[in-house]
């Protein structure tokens, strides 16, 4: 069974910190969106790089791709088509931003529940050392937690690290 690749949108695919820059980073295009969970009247601007879709599809032979984002199923409607991705399964969060064990990110416990003992790689911009320690202690299968800079997004070295990790499984 292939390991899971759990993909966050905001940070890894949408380097939202770069929205404050005069121009998007190279390769990124701005898209105006209004996903169903977006609580504000004004639309949301999202930066996406179509090369990320190509990179993720190349990893799909080694991983089962899964959205691990608060976009949940909206990622299939609003993000996936811009990246050329097929519809992907997603983690449905029982609660967002709730209490967490031992200083971990609120997603971490749900990621472990979703993985259910399977090996996984997780890309997110809010992963910390607390999450790594928690996963190492609580999850018996191999796991790679890859923190991505939310001002840069996923880069070539990130995709190379994901490919190397999967090849070692």
The string of pLDDT tens digits covering residues 97-116 is 777 777 899 899 999 999 99
Q: Give this prediction's pTM.
A: 0.95
**Structural domains of the chain sorted by starting position, each given as residue range(s) with its CATH number in brackets:** 4-167 (3.40.50)
Task: Give me the pLDDT at residue 78, please.
Answer: 97
Is the pLDDT at 29 greater than 90? The verdict is: yes
The string of pLDDT tens digits covering residues 50-102 is 999 999 999 999 999 999 999 999 999 999 999 999 999 999 998 787 777 77
The string of pLDDT tens digits covering residues 137-152 is 999 999 999 999 999 9
Q: Is 67 exposed, middle or buried (0-12, 13-18, 19+ CB in 10 A)?
A: buried
């Amino acid at each position: 069974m292939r390991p899971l690749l759990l993909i966050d949108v905001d940070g890894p695919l949408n380097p939202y910190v770069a929205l404050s820059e005069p121009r998007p980073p190279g390769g990124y295009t701005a898209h105006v969106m209004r996903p169903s969970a977006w609580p504000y009247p004004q639309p949301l601007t999202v930066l996406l790089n179509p090369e990320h879709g190509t990179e993720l599809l190349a990893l799909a032979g080694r991983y089962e791709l899964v959205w691990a984002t608060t976009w949940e199923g909206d990622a299939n409607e609003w993000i996936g088509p811009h990246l050329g991705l097929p519809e992907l399964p997603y983690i449905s969060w029982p609660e967002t931003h709730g209490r967490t064990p031992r200083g971990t990110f609120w997603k971490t416990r749900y990621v472990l529940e979703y993985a259910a003992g399977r090996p996984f790689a997780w890309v997110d911009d809010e992963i910390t050392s607390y999450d790594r320690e928690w996963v190492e202690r609580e999850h018996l299968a191999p796991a790679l937690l890859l923190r991505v800079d939310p001002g840069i997004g996923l880069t070539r070295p990130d995709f190379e690290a994901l490919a190397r990790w999967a090849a070692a499984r």
